[in-house]
Amino acid sequence: MIKKKLVIIALCAIVIMLIAASLNTASSTKHTTLGSDSRGYVIKDVYMPNETLNSKLANITGTSSQKKVKVAVVTGIHMRETLSINASNAVVKDYAKSHNVEIVQYTIVVHENFDYYTAGRKKGEGLAADYIIQDVAKSDYDVIIICHDHKKGYGEGFYIATPSMDNKSVTLAEKVDKAMSGLRFLPSDENPKKKGSSTEVFTKPLAATGHATFVYEIPEWVSYSEAYNVTYNLVDTAYNSI
């Protein structure tokens, strides 16, 4: 009798482990081009939690399904900022695999003159404004993180900012700031050197769609692994603060 019970317990454990393992690799991607023109194009990748496996696991373990969170990440608004593009891209994929979260990544790709500093920035900002804002307006994200790199003298270390200073963004940013070290919250990003950047064209109109919106700045001189770790931590802290 005891042996039988042990066998049943062992089988249950194996089933749970198998489901957990498949959950870990189950996130699926929907890849679409949101828009394209002579300046470049904008891609939207959706990483979905696997609902069926999630609810099966919940049934077996007897725990109710966890909260569902929707996060959007915007990368590539400034083409030259490859550290934030690469690190955020990897974090989005890894995080979606192991959490009950839907993550949408918007990637802006400028294909003309992107090496020319001002023109490339303007084109990236224009593409983001023309194609991403209207899509975000139809969505129900809990937080939107706009990823940038910054040079020395344009802010210190890792930081988040909330340029539109709306309640939703500031409240969430304050929670993240309290819960996370290694990153600062600089409320309205009042750095005069950064004025005339993407704030007026993209960040403020995006926040005006009613979603908590962060500008996230990575120092361009840190290593890839440091950028990856802080970005992962930021997504995780935001997820836990929602």
Residues of this chain that bind Zn ion (CB under 5 A): 78, 148
Beta carbon nearer to Zn ion, 56 or 204: 204
Distances (CA, A) of 184 to 37, 109, 136, 148, 179: 37, 28, 26, 15, 11
Alpha carbons 145 and 218: distance in angstroms, whole number: 12
Beta carbon nearer to Zn ion, 108 or 143: 108
Distances (CA, A) of 99 to 174, 176, 235, 240: 23, 18, 11, 11
Question: Least distance (Å) from Zn ion to the CB of residue 80?
Answer: 8
Question: Least distance (Å) from Zn ion to the CB of residue 170?
Answer: 21
Beta carbon nearer to Zn ion, 45 or 217: 217
Question: Least distance (Å) from Zn ion to the CB of residue 198?
Answer: 6
Question: Least distance (Å) from Zn ion to the CB of residue 150?
Answer: 7
Alpha carbons 34 and 137: distance in angstroms, whole number: 14
Beta carbon nearer to Zn ion, 78 or 211: 78
Alpha carbons 75 and 42: distance in angstroms, whole number: 10
Question: Least distance (Å) from Zn ion to the CB of residue 77?
Answer: 6
Beta carbon nearer to Zn ion, 40 or 49: 40
What is the 8-class DSSP label of residue 192? G
Pairing type for strands 101-110 and 143-150 reads unpaired
